[in-house]
Amino acid sequence: MTEYSKSPLRTQLGRVRYLGSARHGARHWWLERVLSLVLIPLSIWFVVELVTKLLGADQAALAAWIANPFTALLLTALTIIMFVHTRMGLSVIIEDYVHTEWKKLSLILFKDAAIYAFLGLTLAAIAKLHFIGF
Whether 4 is covered by a domain: the verdict is: no
Residue 13 forms part of a structural domain: no
- Segment 37-61 shows an average pLDDT of 94
Residue 78 or 26, more confident: 78
Average pLDDT, the chain: 88
Tens of pLDDT, residue by residue over 106-125, are 999 999 999 999 999 999 99
- The verdict on residue 103 lying in a domain is yes
CATH number of the structural domain spanning residue 113: 1.20.1300.10
Structural domain including 91 reads: 24-131
| Residue 11 included in any domain | no
Task: Give 104: exposed, middle or buried? Use CB within 10 Å, 0-12, 13-18, 19+.
Answer: middle
Is residue 14 included in any domain, yes or no? no
Count of structural domains, the chain: 1
Sign of CA dihedral 112, 114, 119, 124: positive
CA 81 to each of CA 13, 72, 97, 98, 132: distance values in angstroms, whole numbers, following the listed order: 42, 14, 24, 25, 24
What span, in angstroms and rounded, lies between the C-alpha atoms of 35 and 18? Answer: 33
